[in-house]
A and B are shown apart, each in its own frame.
Chain A
């Protein structure tokens, strides 16, 4: 059976980089264009996934496990972030029955 890193290496590294960059940009565009807090948040998760993918690819190409370890850290921390983020969104929904970031602009100037 082929080792997983070998499988990954069948695709040139550049492709991974461009793909991750594209995914990351999609995430950014999502953050910029959507007004629903949850969807913005999902877009941010998409950005993180782009990072994870990139790290895994680099890790395989360098035959260095540190990159994959980092992926686990990112996942764990992102999970914690999700917990807190959702709690904040729920808290806001309780107060104003909406999670539209556009109407949350009382703090300004």
Chain B
């Protein structure tokens, strides 16, 4: 897994780059680092390798997830021009380094073969995110978000660890394939096996720990507050990279270690999925802040992703990946526009992140308005955007599963998609129909390129999804 090593080393290297005062070079260098890691990651394509004494294992699925993560990281880095403009952020190099480390942690979460690596990767990612969330040091909202995230994250880690310990006690192994073997063996004589309770309690606790990371209800409470409080650039990172890594880690564990006890986590997951979809979408309706709405939207997308984890069809790999990619690029566009517009129009000295801040954007900034519209349509799952096919694949997976429970999930999911259309159209309405005065915003070149890439990808994937879907 050379990408992880490369990211860690380049993270340290970019700390040293902090001596240079030229921030533009820093951004370009970091972007280069991420792209190098992406290249190294793709170099392992079509080979199944074990790394570091069976600690990590790369296969095409994990490489695909890594690519989505690294692509998202690259895009987020590309739009990260904003921090470092004020005295608070005099050391942007550190934040870039932390982002690189976080990406390394995320990669570990999608390639782990041993629970130790899952834990270490999760912690590298989480600790990095605690710091980034609180990086706006004088801003009380950022502080509060960091504390909430930290306390709840640490608590969830504790739960996860207790689960790992119990599973270890029952199976004697940290290796996910090893655990899988024991679990499927003991499945047959459940009553006879005295460690049964321990094993199943452990599985449930691990499962909960991961559900927290992907912000599924009822473990989602941290999400809106933390997303709202964190600086927007890091919210973007959180809602794309962390989400993808969490879903991938969960999918890897559930599909390799615990498919034999599907009933144990499958039935609760059905309810959790429905609850996540309902809570995410319904609560988003009332939000006045665009950023907070996107946080709830991220909860609801976790719900859609859980559907396909549940569905367990041969297509699940492709569906999860396609959805993660579609979701990530659309979210990055949306946050990018939000960031640039809200900073352009401060209210009481702080960026205005409500829907009103977008009013009349299309008059002087048709490009930004278009980007925002495409990303909202994609998130809402309107045809001719990537999001539509993401949802389409997931619903197809759910439909092909014979279990009658899936019909219920589908009904909820489709109803909630309809609710989603309501709140995703709010920004579009604000941009095109409401009156407001926003002067023309000058976009830096790299910003423009990033937005063009995300928007074009969203549309291309929405017209010809097979281009990417077949790759997975």
Contact = CB atoms under 8 A, between A and B. Distances in A.
Any A–B CB pair closer than 8 Å: yes
Interface of A: 13, 17, 20, 24, 27, 31, 37, 40-41, 44, 47-48, 50-51, 54-55, 57-58, 62, 64, 66-67, 69-70, 73-74, 77, 80-81, 84-85, 87-89, 91-92, 95-96, 101, 104-108
B151 A106 contact: no
B147 A37 contact: yes
B414 to A, nearest CB: 27
Interface string B384-409: 00000000000000000000000000
B151 to A, nearest CB: 6
Contacts of A96: 140, 143
B356 interface: no
Contacts of B130: 84-85, 88
Interface of B: 115-116, 119-120, 123, 127, 130-131, 134, 137-138, 140-141, 143-148, 150-151, 154-155, 157-159, 161-162, 164-166, 168-169, 172-174, 198, 224-225, 228-229
25 contacts: A20-B165, A24-B158, A27-B158, A31-B151, A37-B147, A40-B151, A44-B151, A47-B162, A51-B161, A54-B166, A58-B165, A64-B172, A69-B116, A70-B174, A74-B161, A77-B127, A80-B127, A81-B127, A84-B150, A87-B131, A88-B150, A91-B134, A91-B146, A104-B144, A108-B225
Contacts of B174: 66, 70
A104 B147 contact: yes
A13 B115 CA distance: 22
A85 B145 contact: no
Contact of B151 (A27, A41, A69, A105): A41
A92 B143 contact: yes
B172 to A, nearest CB: 5
Contacts of B166: 54
B143 A88 contact: yes
B169 A107 contact: no
A106 B465 CA distance: 42
A74 B147 contact: no
Nearest to A49: B158
Nearest to B163: A51
Contact of B154 (A44, A55, A67): A44
Given A80-B127, A81-B123, A88-B134, A54 B144 contact: no
Sorted nearest first, the 3 A-B pairs with minimum C-beta distance are: A47-B158, A107-B225, A58-B169
